[in-house]
Amino acid sequence: MRTIIHIDNQPLELIMADFDSEINVDEITSIDYSNLFGEAVTISTLLNRIGILKARAEAIYAEKKLEFDIYEATQRKRLRREAAMNSNYFKVDDQQIKLTENSLEEAIIIDEGWQVNKKNVIKAQETLNKVDSIYWAISSKSKKLEVMLKPITPEEFYNELMEGTVNGILIKNRKS
């Protein structure tokens, strides 16, 4: 995956591996005690990947919230204009309704477009909350690994490191 970000006027291209289409959350948030060194060398990459996923979920939530706010403001404006042109009344389902804050609120809430946009915001918030939860679990895992692993020599590290996939990252041990 390639993403371009802008810092001031400087474009920067970030290159990172995509996630598989499935992520076993229990697996990536728990510590594999049989391969602590594998966990240690992959945790920062995993935390970075989830952090980027979290940033995307936050952006999607903000976009859905903005769409919702614009839709709601447009509907309120339309109904107020209609009421201003019709002796302080607007129509909902062929029924004349006097403009009050309560009647305006009810008319907005029963609008199908408003409901669709509101549900989109709720779904985006749910997704963000799930990714946020995973992010904090992996952050906790990272802190626990720091405490568990004492400084070691490179030889000890290579002797203890097991090959395989850890945190969704393939480890190949190039023992000399």
pLDDT, one tens digit per residue, over 155-164 is 777 777 777 8
Encode pLDDT of 74-101 as tens digits: 999 999 999 999 999 999 999 999 999 9
Tokens of 87: 């002796």
CA distance 165 to 27: 11
**pTM (predicted TM-score):** 0.81
C-beta of residue 90 within 8 angstroms of C-beta of residue 99:
yes
Residue with tokens 């802008």: 6
Helix (H/G/I), strand (E/B), else coil: 170: strand
% of residues, the chain, pLDDT over 90: 60
- With b for 16 or more beta-carbon neighbours within 10 A and e for fewer, the 24-41 pattern comes to eeeebbeeeeebbbbbbb
Say yes or no to pLDDT of 176 above 50. Answer: no
